[in-house]
Amino acid sequence: MITIISPAKSMDFNPEPEGSLSLLGKWRAHSGRNNTHELLAILKGLSAGQIGKIMKVSEKIAKQNHQRFQTYENLPEKPAIFAYVGDVYKKMEPGTFSLEDLEFAQDNLRIISAFYGLVRPMDKIKAYRLEMVNKLPGAPVKSLALMWQEDIAQMINEEIKTHPNKYVINLASDEYSAAIDAASLDAKMVNIHFREIRDGVLRNIAINSKRARGRMAGYIIKGRIGSPEELKSVSALHYAFDAGLSDESNFFFVNS
């Protein structure tokens, strides 16, 4: 079973926990790197003003990321699971992981990045700003999600061969889930949804769902969860599995 999560806009490149050093590794050679190099070439050709318009960010952030892309080769690296520090990662709490937890995560958790494609937790990445919804001039396809679909499917299919339970647990946001072509997978994909009952109505509260996805990812890693059936017993931030709303492809967890 492989669990998929989204990246985060917020990143931190202070030194990672010492215990993680034994797992540090360079990027594997995989076809996704060709896309990364192609995207970097496009991004290096953009002005700070263009970056600001495309990414809808402030002038300060646009200039910062323009500088990052121009000096990309010299930027510091850090394992992805420690570099991303958004809400998902705060609730996943990778800083509390043991070496055994990190080893399990390395085999069973994957991050979908608009810049790097499919990322292992301990793959070293550099600071960047790029979202799946960003439309780049000169990109070979109309969306970054489409650009990555084939590579991501190939990588998941290769990795799932070693897993006894052929499932992909999708904890990614809709934006990043678009890069997963479920029909091309040699595994069954189970989409995880978090809902709350507000004034008698079932609602998706985006920020709370994001945090719950992170907490559930942490539970999967620390609990060594290896099947969808085991996942049904997990309670993430008071969200509990709802059998009435769920089916074999969509698990709903409700906070009442």
* Alpha-carbon dihedral angle through residues 218, 219, 225, 226, given to the nearest 10 degrees: -40
Interstrand relation of 109-113 and 117-119 (parallel, antiparallel or unpaired):
antiparallel
- Residue 165 vs residue 19, higher pLDDT: 165
Look up tokens 């079973």; give the residue: 1
Torsions phi, psi for 193 (to 5 deg): -125, 140
Mean pLDDT of the chain: 92
pLDDT above 70 (res 34): yes
Confidence category of residue 35, pLDDT binned at 50, 70, 90: very high
> Is 244's pLDDT higher than 80?
yes
172-190, pLDDT tens digit by residue? Answer: 999 999 999 999 999 999 9
Note the pLDDT of residue 53: 97
With b for 16 or more beta-carbon neighbours within 10 A and e for fewer, the 106-124 pattern comes to bebbbbbbbbbbbbbbbbb
DSSP track, 171-221: -S-HHHHTT--GGG-SSEEEEEEEEEEETTEEE--HHHHHHHHHHHHHHHH
**β-pair type (167-170, 124-125):** unpaired
Are 102 and 20 contacting, i.e. CB atoms less than 8 angstroms apart?
yes
Does residue 195 have a pLDDT over 50?
A: yes
Question: 95-144 pLDDT, tens per residue?
Answer: 999 999 999 999 999 999 999 999 999 999 999 999 999 999 988 888 99
156/32: higher pLDDT: 156
Predicted local confidence at residue 29, as pLDDT: 34
pLDDT on residue 18: 57
- Of 126, 114, 131, 13, nearest to 70 by C-alpha is 126
